[in-house]
Amino acid sequence: MLEGKVALVTGASRGIGRAIAIELAKAGAEVIINYLGSEEKAREVKATIEGLGKKAHLARFDVANPQEVTAVIKELETRIGPIHILVNNAGITRDTLFLRMKLEDWEAVLRTNLFSAFYVTQAVLPLMLKARWGRIINISSVVAFTGNPGQVNYAAAKAGLIGFTKALALEVASRNITVNAIAPGYIETDMTEKLPEKVKEAFLQEIPLKRAGLPEEVAHLVLFLASDQASYITGAVFHINGGLYRG
């Protein structure tokens, strides 16, 4: 399905990013695994992909550092070739109530969760435009639509990705490049595993399907949007949350 395509997944060493990288590789894409601090986990993802008989590359860079992003992506394109599929998945949380939120926590989340999409997309877009083919998929969140106490920074960043997606989709559609967003709800990852049990139970009570989602379920949707089967879909937001939000 994706043979001959190169895919870059940011924040691909664990959780949703890991599942996406593996799913795209299964479909034939040559996958670039971006990570920052989790080298061991990133190497595990690479080994998993190579165990499937597919190609994978490690790319350590801070998505929140524009100079680093530009330099590494230029090197990757020189060594591997143009990037056809970009999944902006990297994200962090710095949760606290708004009145207690420090400026550095606000800025860190905005840089990693929103500014990074600008940096990475702007770096890979020129060769997509030249090739007249590309898939850009931004991983937002249900909290972009519902809000969540203690996550003003995270919700603002993820909501920003929605506007980013819709505007960019209009700019690049004539070059056969699609730009879409996915807004996952409560998904079983390292990040959600750290939540107190009472918080997890409260989440599950609010979900009509009464269960958490799996990273692989998000990855299946990414694969569809990256494929030619989704060639007439752009500027769209897909909710995958078990019915938690139905907008």
- In contact, 190 and 215? CB cutoff 8 Å: no
Q: CA of 48: how far to CAs of 53, 68, 89, 113, 237, in Å?
A: 9, 27, 19, 26, 30
Instruction: Give pLDDT, residue 201.
Output: 85
C-alpha to C-alpha distance for 105 and 97, rounded to whole angstroms: 11
Domain ranges of the chain: 6-240
Instruction: Give pLDDT, residue 213.
Output: 97
- For 160, the token pair is 């920003």
C-alpha to C-alpha distance for 13 and 35, rounded to whole angstroms: 6
**Known binder of ligand: residue 56?**
no
**Known binder of ligand: residue 14?**
yes
Question: Annotated catalytic sites, by residue?
Answer: 154
Which CATH architecture group holds 6-240?
3-Layer(aba) Sandwich (3.40)
**Known binder of ligand: residue 155?**
yes
Instruction: Give pLDDT, residue 206.
Output: 93
Instruction: Give pLDDT, residue 95.
Output: 95
Query: How many degrees, rounded to 5, is the angle at CA 238 between CA 88 and CA 119?
Result: 20
Mind listing the pLDDT tens digit for each residue in 5-22? 999 999 999 999 999 999
Residue 199, C-beta contacts closer than 8 angstroms, at least 6 positions apart: none
Instruction: Give pLDDT, residue 195.
Output: 72
Pick from 134, 113, 92: which is nearest to 8 by CA? 134
Residue 151: φ, ψ to 5°: -130, 40
Exposed e or buried b for every residue in 32-47, given b needs 16+ CB within 10 A?
A: bbbbbebeebbeebbe
Instruction: Give pLDDT, residue 183.
Output: 98
Residue stretches of the chain with pLDDT short of 70: none
- In contact, 112 and 154? CB cutoff 8 Å: no
Q: Which residues partner with 57 through β-bridges?
A: 32
Sheet of 30-35: strand order equals 56-60, 30-35, 6-9, 85-88, 134-139, 177-184, 237-240
Q: CA of 126: how far to CAs of 68, 132, 145, 205, in Å?
A: 17, 10, 31, 45
Instruction: Give pLDDT, residue 141.
Output: 97
CB atoms within 10 A of CB 155: 21
Instruction: Give pLDDT, residue 6.
Output: 98
Pick from 228, 19, 233: which is nearest to 31 by CA? 19
**Known binder of ligand: residue 11?**
yes
**Known binder of ligand: residue 79?**
no
**Known binder of ligand: residue 141?**
no
Mind listing the pLDDT tens digit for each residue in 83-106? 999 999 999 999 999 999 999 999
- In contact, 140 and 182? CB cutoff 8 Å: yes
